[in-house]
Amino acid sequence: MKDEGRRQKSKIQNPKSQIVCLAGGVGGAKLADGLARILPPQNLTIIVNTGDDFEHLGLTVCPDLDTVMYTLAGVANPETGWGRAGESWVTMAEVSRLGGPDWFSLGDLDLAAHLTRTAMLRDGEPLTAVTRHLCQKLDIKHSLLPMCDRPAPTQIESDGRILPFQEWFVKERWQPPVTKVILPEDARATTAVIRALENAGLVIIAPSNPFVSIDPILNVYPIRAMLMDLPQAVVAVSPIIGGQAVKGPAAKMMQEMGLPVSARAAAEHYGELLDGFVFDVQDAGQLDGANVAQLSVDTWMRAQEDRVRLAQDVLTFARSLAVAT
Ligand code: FO1
């Protein structure tokens, strides 16, 4: 874990009230929503994974940005977590009938965001500005930032094959075993991301998949170095509850990569980055003896009120770390 002496000295000099949340898809969106219901817009910035982004049917699709955006706007599909509530699928059914690529489903309402985004990008607007525009139109007051403006695609290596992320995740239903997650070497953070981290007093890593949602963000230069060196408390929330991922492939990936499927293994994955770790009561005792501040609470966000409760627990814990040092 981080060097104690350095942290203690720097936190005393750092009374900053900004909070940054690093988020991927559905789990990240839920915690971000909880935080947004507690914190005023000027105090919260959500930095979102864009490693899942790809071009489909000629459109730029940003699944994690849209999942967080729709969740904060209160228009997310409650069943899937991604896409829009009350969606219709007329266009996709016709794409299918015409023999087009229908393995990735874009709903009619959702298509409006992809069309608008793609048009703005083609006109030369950076993804950060496009995201700000879409958020304004959806009446989202908090800042949502893509981790970078240029494409930074995640790829999956599986038994010698290299698969673009969505082909692995959606087309092949994340079944090919993961040998390695390949992240780009040249991804650079935007000025907006750097400014948000410079002004942050706390960084919260949401309970998103550590390998394909959070690592792609940390891989963007200089985000990992800033979390290590700048005077923030960094607190992660476990994506693993009782030896299972709430949603998605995190547990399966841990197994395939030879890791124990546990909250402790998730904390150890983040290692030196962390000042604190929040994990579920079901896993109480699992981090005994670990050199990181810990909080064990109910982390399962089933309903809206759970998001706010967990966000409040995480904030109180993270702030206590900043005060204690
Ligand atoms: N996930 C699926 O499993 N099947 C889909 O057809 C699908 C379409 C889709 C469309 C827009 C969007 O924003 C997300 C979509 N997702 C779909 C979810 C998404 O691809 C993944 O959940 C994330 O990339 C992983 O965080």
- What's the mean pLDDT in 194-210? 95
Cβ neighbours of 131 (radius 10 Å): 27
Tell me the C-alpha distance between 110 and 113, whole Å: 6
The two three-digit tokens of residue 164, written as one number: 């673009």
Ligand 1 atom having least distance to the Cα of 166: 20
Residues 82-134 have pLDDT tens digits of 999 999 999 999 999 999 999 999 999 999 999 999 999 999 999 999 999 99
pLDDT band at 224 (very low <50, low <70, confident <90, very high): very high
- The CA 110 to ligand 1 mean position distance, Å, reads 11
Q: Mean pLDDT, to the nearest integer, of 274-284?
A: 96
Closest among 201, 158, 204 to 177, alpha carbons compared:
158
Residue 323 is predicted with a pLDDT of 60
Q: Which atom of ligand 1 is nearest to 67's Cα?
A: 13
**pLDDT value of position 322:** 73
State the closest ligand 1 atom to the C-alpha of 66, by its place in the atom list counted from 1.
13
Q: What is the CA radius of gyration of the chain?
A: 19
Residue 135, strand partner residues: none
pLDDT exceeds cutoff 60 at 12? no
Supply 11's token pair: 């936190």
Q: How far is the CA of 319 from the centre of ligand 1 (A)?
A: 34
pLDDT one-digit tens code per residue, 313-324:
999 999 998 765
The pairing of beta strand 276-280 with beta strand 293-297? parallel
> In this structure, are residues 206 and 27 in contact, taking their beta carbons and an 8 Å threshold?
yes
Of 267, 270, 261, 291, nearest in space to 279 by CA: 267
Tokens describing residue 35 = 């935080």
With contact defined as beta carbons under 8 Å apart, do 263 and 288 qualify?
no
User: Could you tell me the residue ranges of all domains in the chain?
Assistant: 4-52+142-324
> For the domain 4-52+142-324, what is the CATH code?
3.40.50.10680
Q: Does the structure show a pLDDT above 60 at 41?
A: yes
Provide mean pLDDT across the span 238-251. 94
- State which ligand 1 atom lies nearest to the alpha carbon of 165: 24
Q: How many CB atoms lie within 10 A of CB 59?
A: 17
Report the separation in Å between the CA atom of 82 and the middle of ligand 1, taken as the mean of its atom positions: 6
Measuring from atom 1 of ligand 1, which residue has the nearest CA? 170
Separation between Cα atoms, residue 146 and residue 209, nearest integer Å: 17
Query: 69 C-alpha to center of ligand 1: Å?
Result: 14
pTM of the model: 0.95
Average pLDDT over residues 185-205: 96
pLDDT, the chain, mean = 93
Cis peptide before 222 (omega within 30 of 0): yes
Phi, psi of 249 (to 5 degrees): -90, 10
Q: How far apart are CA 8 and CA 284, in angstroms?
A: 27
